[in-house]
Amino acid sequence: MRNSPSPRSPVISAKSSPMVRLAAIAAFLAGSAWMAQAGEAQNSEALKRLVHHDCGSCHGLTLKGGLGPDLRPQTLEHYEVDGLAAVILDGIPGTAMPPWRPLITSDTANWIAQYLLKPETK
């Protein structure tokens, strides 16, 4: 992530009203979406880093599982790319898997799903 444009975090003051905070979050999300589209091709290293470090905070740096389940290809083989991308975008209600739609585009989710299913192709 070091060499790529990183999403600029909104500075939301603790004193901001809920509307101001909402607006700041919306602006931030728009920025993230732009980032994801603009840089996707050259950002595969950054996306791999996201998968291993940030998905990895629950699923483990090597994706073999932690508080969240094992995400290695042999464990996920019953998933299609679309289905897995949908889980990434919308999360699994009632579990600790959050919806990533606020932070990434569906293209990025598809990329991540393909990477999880067939890491060697990325």
Partner 1 sequence: MKSLILGFVASLLVFAAQAESTATGDLGLIIERATGSVLLVDQSERAVVTRIEGLGDLSHASLVYSPDERFAYVFGRDGGLTKVDIVARKIVNRIIQAGNSIGGAISDNGRLVAVSNYEPGGVRVFDADTLELVADIPTGSKTIGLVDAPGRKFVFTMWDTGETWIADMSGKAPEIIKIEDMGANPYDALITGNGRTYITGLFGEDGMTALDLWDKTPKPIRVLPGYGRGQEKLPVYKMPHLEGWALAGREFVLPAVGHHEVLWVDADELIETGRTPTHGQPVFAMARPDGRQVWVNFAHPLNDTIQVIDSVTKKIIHQFKPGPAVLHMEFTPRGHEVWISVRDANKVMIYDTHTFEKLQEIDADSPSGIFFTARAHKTGL
What is the CB neighbour count within 10 angstroms for residue 77? 8
Residue 37 binding partner 1, by CB under 8 A? no
Q: From CA 27, how far away is CA 40, in angstroms rounded?
A: 20
**77's tokens:** 């083989």
**Amino acid identity at 75:** T
The conformation of residue 112, written as its DSSP 8-state character, comes to H
Q: State whether residue 43 is helix, strand or coil.
A: helix
Residue 83 binding partner 1, by CB under 8 A? no
Residue selected from 26, 34, 42, 98 as contacting partner 1 according to rule CB under 8 A: 98
For residues 61 and 26, the answer to whether their CB atoms sit within 8 Å is no
Q: Which is nearer to partner 1, 26 or 80 (CB)?
A: 26
Give the shortest CB-110-to-partner 1 separation in angstroms.
19
Residue 9 binding partner 1, by CB under 8 A? yes
Residue 6 binding partner 1, by CB under 8 A? yes
Residue 118 binding partner 1, by CB under 8 A? no
**66's tokens:** 């932690």
Rule CB under 8 A: which residues touch partner 1? 1-2, 6-7, 9-15, 28, 32, 49, 53-54, 56-58, 60-62, 64-67, 91, 96, 98-100, 102-103
